[in-house]
Amino acid sequence: MRERQAAMPFIFVTVLLDMLGIGIIIPVLPQLVTTMYGGSYSEGASIFGWFIAAYALMQFIFAPILGNLSDAYGRRPIILASLMGAGLDYLLMAFAPNLKWLFVGRAIAGITGANITAANAYIADVSPPEQRARNFGLIGACFGVGFILGPALGGLLGNYGLRMPFIAAAILNLCNWLYGFIVLPESLPKENRRPFSLANANAFAALKALNRYPVVLGLTAVIALERLAHDSLPATWVLYTTYRFKWTPFDNGLSLALVGVMFASISAGLTGKLVGWLGERKAIIFALSVGAVTFLCYGLAPKGWMMYAAIVLGSIGGIAVPAIQSLITKMTPATEQGAVQGVISSIQSLAAIVGPLMATNLFAYFTSSNAPAHLPGAAFVVSSILVAVGVFLAIRSARTAPA
């Protein structure tokens, strides 16, 4: 029991480093890509888009593979191997001699970042059912803290060279690998393991397999809708606030920092209490309803200060996904936790590709002269509709779930 208690902080730190590794290079990667490309800033920006897509695509492909591997060989070797791979990969990017090697490194980062599947499965293995929502909420808090600290640290280190953030990310991951090698016990007993099958280790095959668990399939669809809606925020927030409210970079930075602070605070401090009080089913429906209202407020807010009020309100919606994940783990056999978490991660990665494209195109169309109505916040209005559909789907799916 002491070993497992020691392992929980390690899992949280691992997820934090995943997000920190993404955030720490945000301030420097666009400029590094543009510099290595040798073209104009606009041309470099278009090339940078491929770096974003490659990362998300690799996560989509490899999340179910790592999840299934963790079901077959245990969580520990998958988590440790991905940490070692991430550390070496950041070194590769730090010393990449040209754009091709930098692109290869970013693709590998997407593969190693898919270790969130094994981390989530580890949480499901070692957490009592009544504490799973709280622990998944703490995972969300790690994402929020990483979203705050990563870009700030990357911007600071970027002053000493565009490649310094990559070196820092490598050191952090390799130190965490060494720590995990010493303290991380295995969480999956051998009797709960199942053979690895490459034919089943992809998102489409795993989704088909989820037909055996209709409630899990329905809740997975809810996560897909929520993530598709959520990805409109990072893609169009600055475009929208600058266009509509004439916000400066400082205003946008302040608002995004508030998003991270509120998300981390709610995930760490309120998720377990709310889910314990309401139960997973009611908590999911309540949080998704708050999310739908929040997106509508974003899209229709006439004054800039209202965006800050909506951020505070919308942070409560952050308990939805941890509550859904907790309920899914209760409906999933112990032998398939990794596979199901892999499906969820793949769907979230796919949404990370489709969501920004959808949101930016909606913004571009509804701010153009060809639009039937001038609606800069169209992406947020559509996101509100997607989450509202998720509410009805959650009500239907959770009807037969355990109380």
Q: pLDDT per residue over 274-308, tens digit each?
A: 777 887 888 889 999 999 999 999 999 999 999 99
Query: pLDDT value at position 197?
Result: 75
**pLDDT-above-70 percentage for the chain:** 89
Q: State yes or no: pLDDT of 337 exceeds 80.
A: no
Q: State yes or no: pLDDT of 403 exceeds 70.
A: no
Q: Which residues contact 367 (CB under 8 A, 6 or more apart)?
A: 243, 374, 376
Query: pLDDT value at position 183?
Result: 84
Q: State yes or no: pLDDT of 45 exceeds 60.
A: no
Q: State yes or no: pLDDT of 162 exceeds 70.
A: yes
Give yes or no for a contact between 340 and 210, defined as CB atoms under 8 angstroms apart.
yes
Q: Which of 258, 226, 21, 269 is nearest to 138 (CA)?
A: 269
Of 10-24, 203-217, 313-327, 389-403, the range with the highest mean pLDDT is 313-327
Structure tokens at 200: 């089943």
Of 77-86, 154-163, 348-357, the range with the highest mean pLDDT is 77-86
Give yes or no for a contact between 367 and 374, defined as CB atoms under 8 angstroms apart.
yes
**CA 210 to chain CA centroid, nearest Å:** 22
Burial tier of 176 (Cβ tally within 10 Å: 0-12, 13-18, 19+): buried
Give yes or no for a contact between 150 and 26, defined as CB atoms under 8 angstroms apart.
yes
C-alpha neighbours within 13 Å on the C-beta side of residue 392: 5
Which pTM does this prediction carry? 0.68
H or E element in which residue 48 lies:
helix 41-73
Give all domains of the chain, ordered by start, each with its CATH number: 1-184 (1.20.1250.20), 200-403 (1.20.1250.20)
Instruction: Please report which confidence band the pLDDT of residue 400 belongs to, taking 50, 70 and 90 as the band edges.
Output: low
Query: pLDDT value at position 41?
Result: 46
Tell me what the pLDDT averaged over the chain comes to.
82
**pLDDT-above-90 percentage for the chain:** 20
Q: What is the spatial distance between Cα 47 and Cα 39, in angstroms, rounded to a whole number?
A: 10
Q: State yes or no: pLDDT of 214 exceeds 80.
A: no
Query: pLDDT value at position 355?
Result: 80
Q: State yes or no: pLDDT of 7 exceeds 80.
A: no
Mean pLDDT value across residues 62-74 = 87
